[in-house]
Amino acid sequence: MRCVSAWSPAGLSGIFETHIVEDPLLTGARGAGLALKKGVTVTACESEQQGVKISISDGGKIIPTVSTVAKKLLSMFPGQLGVEIYVDVSVPIGGGLGTSGASALATALAMGRLLGLRLSYLDLAKIAHVAEVECKTGLGTVSGLVVGGVVIVVRPGAPGNDLVDRLLFDKDMKAIIGFFGSRSKPEILSSARLPLIDTVGKRLIDELIHERSLEKLLEVSKRFSLETGLVTESVKRAFRALEEAGIPYAGQTQIGDAVFTLVHDEQVDRAVGVLNNLKAKTIVSEVSWEPARLV
Amino acid sequence: MRCVSAWSPAGLSGIFETHIVEDPLLTGARGAGLALKKGVTVTACESEQQGVKISISDGGKIIPTVSTVAKKLLSMFPGQLGVEIYVDVSVPIGGGLGTSGASALATALAMGRLLGLRLSYLDLAKIAHVAEVECKTGLGTVSGLVVGGVVIVVRPGAPGNDLVDRLLFDKDMKAIIGFFGSRSKPEILSSARLPLIDTVGKRLIDELIHERSLEKLLEVSKRFSLETGLVTESVKRAFRALEEAGIPYAGQTQIGDAVFTLVHDEQVDRAVGVLNNLKAKTIVSEVSWEPARLV
């Protein structure tokens, strides 16, 4: 059975401004966040059974997005073939860690190669982006995962139509994420609060773009979660506890019930201690300069 | 003495079409090539001596470009400071392996962080790109090194203005480069042959963009070097010897006296043997999915 695997960083964003128009290739979000070394590995294998079969290591919430990508690519294959897809997710799903976008992108890369489709990286990333938009699981995530690093999506849209900048960070810095629970993204993205969220997001992203620094990214992320009311009680407590421990720069993963920060090595234990005390599931990861790719 | 280091992949291109206009941010080249895991490390250190001092591990040809970047950034620093820059190049200089662009980009990243300038990755990459254009050492190299992988520069220009796509390649593939000697780039880029070169380049890049595959990249690279007359006698011999050994897909590094190919693991020894027989300095490297970054 021939198989191809692809990996994608997980990705979190601390701030966003949606940009939803008729064309899904121009739909997206401005925003900022991180690509993480912890992520998702997707293995796509030829199968004798027609159609697409999907198995996911942790929960099933992202199946619709992965399935949309897989069916789209299979429909472009000129012969008769079935595909089995195994998604191995090493971070929690539903916590604003970009698992749907990462899985969609890795699925597109693995299947593009497995089927020998003459599609480039951007062709495949566009298919993953459109699946995210259609399934309402994300808007700007794929843009960041195609680039890697600490990213600012300056112009929204599918990869190739977007514009992504990055921020420098010291080599000893680690991302710390405290995950409190799952949260439904489609609900918030369809809610009446969206115009307010976008107004706040636009103002703060403009501030960040004016002063492109890591501290500013974390500062506007925190203010975004507070000013939009997207902040959860758990994250609010985490902001306070981190501040008391001398870590004032932190944000909320959008749209999740999780807090994140980026600290130097000597502060890692302290940040983890604070989050463990709050009963968060705590993840420590380097930032990934590598984009999603075949492995 | 405070120091900051940055790394950049080396980069080669097999084909190009220059796009030279008045604005250096819109000047660049369309083309295609590889970012390599072998590359350049630049360390920038604060110094008590005013101005910029540069040391390079292998030859001095790329000093003007590095110096242009360093002086530009130092001029943006609000205080009085001197900088010492150490460039450690692990591939030959002058062979079309992008060492000037890689050194310029790594210098920009290291100095941007050392000086605490509030410049983003794209801001710094633009400075490196403009230095390459001004010093006539390259046109589209920085575009590829900012992205990583097997790249196609679809729209020319400085990073942020350009559009770069990538091709997928199997994980066991290695880039093999046979380096025959140094070659002067400014001379060719100012020559009367440039209109012919660009006509051939445009036609073949359009072919590649129409059929985005690795084989096509190598095929148009070889045809480009032959049809433009840029091919050297050594590279012509290498094409023939590789073909006889069952490796028909190879190109010439532009603008260098070196041949390159991308082969599966089981063909690496054969390709290296052929190039060693021709007395080439032979380099084996993985393709780097990582862009230039702080280390």
Q: Residue B185 — very low, low, confident or very high, per pLDDT cuts 50/70/90?
A: low
Distance CA A178, CA A169 (A): 21
Q: Residue A211 — very low, low, confident or very high, per pLDDT cuts 50/70/90?
A: very high
Q: Residue B102 — very low, low, confident or very high, per pLDDT cuts 50/70/90?
A: very high
Residue A269: pLDDT over 90: yes
Contact at 8 Å (CB) between B282 and B92?
A: no
Residue A186: pLDDT over 70: no
Q: Which pLDDT does position B182 carry in this prediction?
A: 84
Residue B186: pLDDT over 70: no
The 10s digit of each residue's pLDDT in B223-258 is 999 999 999 999 999 999 999 999 999 999 998 999
- Pairing, β B293-294 against β B3-19: antiparallel
Q: Which pLDDT does position B276 carry in this prediction?
A: 97
Q: Which pLDDT does position B61 carry in this prediction?
A: 66
Q: Which pLDDT does position B192 carry in this prediction?
A: 77
Tokens 């620094």 -> residue: A213
ipTM of the complex: 0.93
Distance CA B29, CA B21 (A): 11
**Stretch B103-130: mean pLDDT:** 97
The 10s digit of each residue's pLDDT in A94-124 is 888 999 999 999 999 999 999 999 999 999 9
For the segment(s) A1-295, the CATH number from 3.30.460.80, 3.30.230.10, 3.40.50.2300, 3.40.50.720 is 3.30.230.10
**Which among B123, B160, B166 has the least Cβ separation from residue A163?**
B160
Q: Read off the DSSP letter of residue B96.
A: S
Q: Residue A182 — very low, low, confident or very high, per pLDDT cuts 50/70/90?
A: confident
Q: Residue A183 — very low, low, confident or very high, per pLDDT cuts 50/70/90?
A: confident
Distance (Å) from the alpha carbon of A159 to chain B's nearest alpha carbon: 9
Chain B within 8 Å of A215 (Cβ-Cβ)? no
Contact at 8 Å (CB) between B228 and B200?
A: yes
Residue A191: pLDDT over 80: no
The Cα-based distances of A42 to A149, A152, A283 in angstroms read: 21, 26, 21
Chain A within 8 Å of B213 (Cβ-Cβ)? yes
Q: Which pLDDT does position B262 carry in this prediction?
A: 97
- Dihedrals phi, psi of B253, to nearest 5 degrees: -70, 135
Q: State the Cα angle at B5 between A7 and A270, rounded to 5°.
A: 65
> Hey, where are the domains in chain B?
3-165, 170-285
Chain B within 8 Å of A152 (Cβ-Cβ)? yes
Q: Residue A80 — very low, low, confident or very high, per pLDDT cuts 50/70/90?
A: confident
Chain B partners within 8 Å of A109 (Cβ): 168
**Stretch A146-164: mean pLDDT:** 98
Distance of CA A265 to the CA centre of its chain: 24
Q: Which residue has the higher pLDDT, A236 or B92?
A: A236
Residue of B109, B113, B120 to mutate for A, most A C-beta atoms under 10 A: B120
The 10s digit of each residue's pLDDT in A45-57 is 999 888 899 888 8
Q: Which helix (H) or strand (E) holds A64?
A: helix A63-75
Residue A59: pLDDT over 80: no
Residue B59: pLDDT over 70: no
Chain A within 8 Å of B145 (Cβ-Cβ)? no
Chain B partners within 8 Å of A160 (Cβ): 163, 165
- Pairing, β B163-167 against β B150-155: antiparallel
Q: Which pLDDT does position A255 carry in this prediction?
A: 87
CA dihedral A31, A33, A37, A38 (to 10 degrees): -90
Distance (Å) from the alpha carbon of A117 to chain B's nearest alpha carbon: 9
**Stretch A34-41: mean pLDDT:** 97
**Stretch A48-72: mean pLDDT:** 86
Q: Number of CB pairs < 8 Å for A and B?
A: 76
Chain A within 8 Å of B16 (Cβ-Cβ)? no
Distance CA A57, CA A87 (A): 6
Query: What does pLDDT average to over chain A?
Result: 94
Fold of B3-165: Ribosomal Protein S5; domain 2 (3.30.230)
**Which among B112, B147, B169 has the least Cβ separation from residue A168?**
B112
Q: Which pLDDT does position A31 carry in this prediction?
A: 97
Residue A126: pLDDT over 80: yes
Chain B partners within 8 Å of A168 (Cβ): 109, 112-113, 120-121, 124, 294
Contact at 8 Å (CB) between A33 and A142?
A: no
| Least confident segment among A226-240, B86-100, B198-212 | B86-100
Share of chain A above pLDDT 70, in %: 97
Q: Which CATH superfamily is domain B170-285 in?
A: GHMP kinase, C-terminal domain (3.30.70.890)
- Dihedrals phi, psi of B116, to nearest 5 degrees: 65, 30
Q: Residue A60 — very low, low, confident or very high, per pLDDT cuts 50/70/90?
A: low
Q: Which pLDDT does position B80 carry in this prediction?
A: 85
How many Cβ atoms from other residues are within 10 Å of residue B51's Cβ? Answer: 12
| Least confident segment among A131-135, A146-150, B62-66, B244-248 | B62-66
Distance CA B171, CA A237 (A): 44
